[in-house]
Each structure stands twice: as structure tokens, then as C-alpha cells.
């Protein structure tokens, strides 16, 4: 699922909201998560998971074409750890499209 599909599903599930308002809400949520991560904070959404930053040290890599050593700079990368409730839903009989599942699920079963 891409951002525009998420916005469309949420707008359909909440007909009292305008689609532009739903787009603003989704963008604001993503911006806040991104901003918190950029400042080094951890973002935890109970039942869903936690976003954090992992720091990768500088290292010597290899150019895949020539095999020559290449210096790779230290960097920070986003990391997501699924929460218990999300893991349980995925592993304990959750079937895409089944009754009682999330309103955001499209039922296609293709993971999108």
C-alpha cells in the first residue's frame, strides 16, 4: 500500500472528513515521526511498533564491479520493530479480507 492508497482508504472509511483533510493528517503524522527520528528520538505506537535510529559505523566495503576496497561513511538508518499486537495479528490466524480485520485492509491478499 502506498501513501495515496492509505489516504483513499481512510477517506472512504471516514466520509465525514474531506480527502484533503485526511491527506493533511497522514502527512502530519509522517512528518512528526520523521522529525522525531531526525532529532534522535524514538517513536512508539502501542500495539503497532516502534521506530528508532540505528547508527552504522564507518567501514571498508567493496566495489561489486571491480572488487576494489571503498570507504563507506558512518550513517544513521531508520529501524522499525513490530509491536506484540501487530506480530500476534500477523501470526495468529489473521486472514486478509476476513471479517473483523482492519478497515485499512483491502482484502486483496497481495501485501499491498
For the chain, the domains span: 1-41, 48-92
pLDDT for the residue numbered 83: 94
Tell me the pLDDT tens digit for each residue of 8-46: 999 999 999 999 999 999 999 999 999 999 999 999 999
The confidence band for 94, taking pLDDT boundaries of 50, 70 and 90, is: low
pLDDT for the residue numbered 112: 43
Rounded to whole angstroms, the Cα distance separating 112 from 51 reads 21
Indicate the pTM of the whole model.
Answer: 0.69
**Nearest Cα to 83, choosing from 47, 33, 42?**
47
C-alpha torsion angle, residues 75, 78, 80, 81 (rounded to 10): 30
Q: What is the mean predicted confidence (pLDDT) over 52-71? A: 96
pLDDT for the residue numbered 103: 46
CATH of region 48-92, choose from 2.60.120.620, 4.10.520.10, 3.90.960.10, 3.30.1490.20: 4.10.520.10
Amino acid at each position: 500500500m502506498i501513501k495515496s492508497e492509505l489516504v483513499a482508504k481512510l477517506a472512504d472509511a471516514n466520509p465525514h472528513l474531506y480527502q484533503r483533510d485526511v491527506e493533511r493528517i497522514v502527512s502530519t503524522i509522517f512528518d512528526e515521526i520523521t522529525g522525531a527520528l531526525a532529532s534522535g528520538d524514538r517513536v512508539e505506537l502501542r500495539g503497532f511498533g516502534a521506530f528508532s535510529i540505528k547508527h552504522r559505523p564507518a567501514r571498508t566495503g567493496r566495489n561489486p564491479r571491480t572488487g576494489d576496497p571503498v570507504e563507506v561513511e558512518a550513517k544513521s538508518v531508520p529501524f522499525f520493530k513490530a509491536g506484540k499486537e501487530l506480530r500476534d495479528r500477523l501470526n495468529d490466524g489473521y486472514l486478509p479480507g476476513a471479517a473483523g480485520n482492519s478497515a485499512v485492509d483491502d482484502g486483496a491478499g497481495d501485501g499491498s
